Amino acid sequence: MKIIEKRDRFGKFVKGIVPWNKGKKEPYSAETLKRMSGAKKGKCPNTGYEFKKGHIPWIKGKKGVTKANITSFKKGQIFSKAIIEKRLKNLRKKVLIKPNLKISQDLAYIIGILLGDGSVFKCSTTYNIVLDITDKNIALKFFNSLKSIGLNPRINERMPTNGIGKLKKYIVIAHSTNFGLWFKNLSIKKLKKSLNKKYLLKSFICGFYEAEGTMYTTKQKYKNKVYKKFHIGMSNTDIKLIQFVKGLTDKLDFKFNLNGPYKNHGLGYPNAKSIYRIETAIKDDVYRFIELIKPVGKNIWR
């Protein structure tokens, strides 16, 4: 009985059709099996593609340009060092990651984080964008924001080894020369022009708060009763930056007070920069800040 082979467009057998070689142990011919068994290990069975023992290729040791089926040898063109460097530079420009640096909610949030607790620094031939934080939710949000503008970040987990901290840290790292050069040229004056929409202000403040913000409660006694009083604030050693952030909160009708300078005990250096803080304990402002800014971390109601 003759079996008709039916296959789909990918060359696979159609369901229900019995392959012609089903049940056969040796589908190859005797001649093919002989060639396969007699072939040298690691060599092609066809001796036409093998070099004879002791054969040295005529092109061995030469540097230049060759083409198929020719017996002549053309020496490669030698360029000057300046031209080679220029060609490599142009090639590197083509392969460099080009993030979307047009202002957006994600980019505004990233800027807020980096001006706070993040960092951008040059490392070898590129720039590193780094956030080292103990809050996993903030780390993941920063990670996703970097991805949304076209960067390729990674996130690592690390337990403290110096005996000072006890919480696990999450380190978000991305590399981009274009972003690094752009960020290093960013000024408060340029930021004022860029953050010209309410949703951009909220995203920037959210990033800065999640990096440099604090939220805590104190006890307040009134008419023999004890109440919880909520405080929310942001701090930084750069007075111009903290004044700029306060100006943004003023535009959103928050009543933050600017306080400081305070002595910086965090670094343990005698010449550490002083700290400036903006803070409010107005109940309506605290609640509205959380509802409007929507931070994923440093929120006692989460």
Domain range summary for the chain, segments of one domain joined by +? 81-186, 206-293
Q: What is the CATH number of domain 206-293?
A: 3.10.28.10
Please give the pLDDT value at position 174.
93
Please give the pLDDT value at position 126.
85
CATH class of the structural domain 81-186: alpha beta
Report yes or no: 232 and 289 within 8 Å, Cβ to Cβ. yes
The two domains 81-186 and 206-293 share their CATH topology (first three levels equal) = yes
Residues (pLDDT < 70) of the chain are 1-29, 31-33, 35-79, 87-95, 161-165, 265-270, 300-302
Give helix then strand counts, H and E, for the chain. Answer: 9, 10
Please give the pLDDT value at position 123.
86
Please give the pLDDT value at position 67.
54
Q: Which residues contact 212 (CB under 8 A, 6 or more apart)?
A: 116, 117, 234, 235, 236
Q: Which phi and psi (to 5°) does residue 233 adopt? A: -160, 170
Whether omega for the bond prior to residue 261 falls within 30 degrees of 0, making it cis, is: yes
Report yes or no: 121 and 166 within 8 Å, Cβ to Cβ. no
Strand partners, 74: 65
Please give the pLDDT value at position 47.
43
Please give the pLDDT value at position 244.
95
Distance of CA 240 to the CA centre of its chain: 29
- In tens, the pLDDT along 171-193 reads 999 999 899 999 999 999 999 99
- In tens, the pLDDT along 238-254 reads 999 999 999 999 999 99
Residue for token digits 């337990």? 159
Please give the pLDDT value at position 101.
93
Please give the pLDDT value at position 43.
46
